């Protein structure tokens, strides 16, 4: 059997034409980013502009100092300037610019910026038309200081090819919750879609019950019938307030759902509160599983890590709740194959993204290849998880390149059989991966 690459000049020409078409289509196709931590300027922005005051507690992060102090880079800088040299508390006492200067010096100037998070800053500057070879941090700051946050959102979405930004609206975060209560229209920006995020409901029901009671939804740690009713009312009220297109949680590696007889509190909250309301509202539930929080609390947001999770729990939920739809992403590389195989068994399971510590080229390539081979075009290959607006630019630039490379190989493999794929069919397929699968799964 001939296992070599195309030999005839015609075959080689077709292979390179096909590759060029795939890369062009992937580059042109807009993406509905299904998971970010971004907000419109109505939620306050830490960097003001000519027409808008800065808000130190603002939720919209943007600009070069936020890029440089992204928690991924905070973790990386403490590897080269350890806390024994610069105590954590001293770093956190520094102003944002001083923290950024520290990271710029130690991760960009004193060492080459070749980690994915460092490279991302450079890609973002380049695609915004700033020149990384200048290494002119002051000049970059001056440029950002002249931008209007809302206009900059348009510019970043255009540059990144993002058609819509899906938020993460963490109702148990006081800063965010108070902003929704103060102005029900705070999230009304059509460029953004709301997602209700409620980790404490499942991670710490006793603590959540105390807060629900404070907020007028009487609930107790025993999760008795009236508590179930209160919690359901809470979830409905906030789905409506946020205009949630789905609901989401991040769950620890230890998360287990053992089935109808599993009466652990977290499983009862899932079975008696969350899934019934989501089925009633026809909304999917996104489970992001494997986050082990605050293993090093001194690092703040950078202090979390991941761990091996249990795919069987996801399988049990998909089987026992056929009226619910589940998005799922897992944080451990070692979970990816089993999760993709699980998705082959359940049409109400949609795997998505190369989450957090998996969003690195070597792993995005491996996971995307595995998913296309197992699931064809019925997955959502990526989300950005952007926390700083400008990150949309690099996260999608890097992901498009990786996804295109996998697709080129897969289309070329198909064409080696004599099958021919048309340009329109490639456009149709890529639109599914970038927008269609997400939009369809939301509708059910
Ligand atoms: O829980 C999540 O949504 C995670 O994405 C965390 O926000 C994590 O800190 C992160 O930013 N990952 O990229
Ligand atoms: Zn996230």
* Boundary-marking domain end, from 111, 146, 181: 146
The predicted-structure confidence for 219-263, as pLDDT tens digits, reads as follows 999 999 999 999 999 999 999 999 999 999 999 999 999 999 999
- Give the largest Cα separation in the chain, rounded: 74
Provide the number of structural domains found in the chain. Answer: 2
Which tens digit of pLDDT belongs to each residue from 160-211? 999 999 999 999 999 999 999 999 999 999 999 999 999 999 999 999 999 9
Q: Could you give the count of Cα atoms lying within 13 Å of 6 in the half-sphere of its Cβ?
A: 18
User: 115: buried, middle or exposed (CB in 10 Å: 19+, 13-18, 0-12)?
Assistant: middle
The number of the ligand 1 atom at minimal distance from the alpha carbon of 35 is 3
Inter-CA distances, 35 with 16, 247, 327, 414, Å? 34, 11, 11, 32
Ligand closest to 387 (CA) is 1
Instruction: Give the SS3 label for residue 249.
Output: strand
Per-chain mean pLDDT for the chain: 97
Are 132 and 174 members of one domain?
A: no
Contact, 119 vs 113, CB < 8 A? yes
Which ligand is located closest to the Cα atom of residue 70? 1
- Which strand (E) or helix (H) includes residue 349? strand 349-351
β-strand partners of 244: 194
* Domain identity same for 25 and 58: no
Cα torsion for 200, 249, 153, 394, to the nearest 10°? 120
Domain containing 69 equals 45-146
Does residue 155 belong to any structural domain of this protein?
no
Evaluate: CB of 293 within 6 angstroms of ligand 1.
no
Find the distance separating the first CA and the last CA of the chain, reported in whole Å: 44
Give the Å distance between the CA of 274 and the centre of ligand 1.
Answer: 21
Cα-to-chain-centroid distance, residue 201? 20
Task: Give me the percent of the chain exceeding a pLDDT of 70.
Answer: 99
Element (H, E) at 289: strand 285-289
Residue to probe by mutation, ligand 1, list 70, 307, 387, 389, most atoms within 8 Å of CB = 387
Length in residues, the chain? 444
Dig out the tokens for 88 from the structure: 């954590």
Condensed to tens digits (0 to 9), the pLDDT of residues 338-349 reads 999 999 999 999
Contact 387 CB / ligand 1 (< 6 Å): yes
139 and 217 part of one domain:
no
Q: Which helix (H) or strand (E) holds 241?
A: helix 225-242
- Report how far residue 436's alpha carbon sits from residue 380's, in angstroms, rounded to the nearest whole number: 9
Specify the pLDDT at position 6.
58
* Domain CATH code at residue 79: 1.10.2020.10
Of 44-58, 281-295, 299-313, the range with the lowest mean pLDDT is 44-58
- Name the domain boundary from 84, 116, 146: 146
Residue 1 lies in a domain: no
pLDDT digits (tens, 9 = 90+) for 85-128: 999 999 999 999 999 999 999 999 999 999 999 999 999 999 99
Query: Would you say residue 2 lies in a domain?
Result: no
The tokens of 369 are what?
Answer: 């290849």
Residue with CA nearest ligand 1 atom 6: 356
Q: Is the CB of 385 under 6 A from ligand 1?
A: yes
């Amino acid at each position: 059997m001939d296992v070599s690459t195309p030999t005839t000049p015609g075959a080689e020409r077709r292979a390179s034409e096909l590759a060029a078409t795939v890369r062009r289509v992937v580059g042109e196709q807009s993406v509905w980013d299904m998971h970010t931590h971004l907000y419109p300027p109505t939620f306050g922005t830490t960097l003001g502009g000519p027409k808008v005051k800065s808000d130190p507690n603002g939720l919209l992060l943007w600009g070069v100092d936020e890029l440089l102090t992204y928690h991924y880079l905070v973790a990386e800088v403490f590897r080269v300037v350890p806390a024994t040299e610069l105590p954590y508390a001293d770093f956190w006492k520094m102003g944002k610019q001083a923290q950024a200067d520290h990271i710029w010096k130690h991760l960009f100037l004193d060492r080459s910026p070749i980690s994915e998070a460092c490279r991302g800053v450079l890609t973002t500057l380049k695609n915004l038309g700033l020149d990384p070879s200048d290494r002119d941090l002051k000049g970059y700051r001056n440029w950002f200081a002249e931008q209007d946050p809302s206009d900059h959102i348009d510019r970043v979405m255009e540059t990144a090819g993002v058609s819509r930004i899906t938020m993460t609206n963490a109702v148990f975060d006081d800063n965010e919750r108070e902003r929704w209560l103060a102005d029900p229209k705070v999230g009304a920006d059509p460029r953004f879609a709301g997602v209700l995020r409620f980790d404490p409901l499942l991670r710490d029901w006793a603590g959540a019950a105390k807060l629900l009671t404070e907020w007028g939804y009487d609930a107790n740690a025993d999760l008795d019938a009236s508590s179930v009713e209160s919690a359901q009312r809470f979830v409905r009220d906030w789905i409506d307030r946020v205009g949630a297109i789905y609901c989401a949680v991040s769950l620890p590696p230890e998360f287990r759902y053992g089935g109808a007889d599993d009466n652990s509190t977290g499983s009862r909250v899932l079975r008696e509160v969350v899934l019934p309301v989501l089925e009633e509202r026809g909304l999917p539930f996104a489970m992001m599983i494997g986050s082990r929080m605050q293993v090093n609390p001194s690092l703040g947001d950078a202090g979390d890590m991941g761990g091996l999770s249990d795919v069987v729990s996801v399988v049990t939920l998909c089987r026992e709740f056929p009226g619910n739809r589940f998005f799922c992403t897992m944080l451990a590389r070692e979970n990816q194959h089993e999760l993709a195989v699980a998705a082959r068994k359940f049409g109400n399971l949609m795997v998505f993204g190369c989450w957090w510590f998996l969003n690195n080229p070597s792993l995005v390539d491996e996971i995307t290849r595995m998913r296309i081979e197992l699931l064809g075009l019925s997955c959502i290959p990526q989300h950005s998880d952007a926390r700083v607006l400008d990150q949309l630019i690099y996260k999608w630039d890097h992901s498009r390149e990786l996804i295109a490379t996998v697709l080129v190989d897969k289309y070329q493999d198909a064409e080696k059989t004599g099958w021919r794929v048309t340009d329109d069919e490639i456009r149709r397929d890529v639109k599914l991966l970038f927008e269609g699968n997400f939009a369809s799964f939301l509708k059910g």
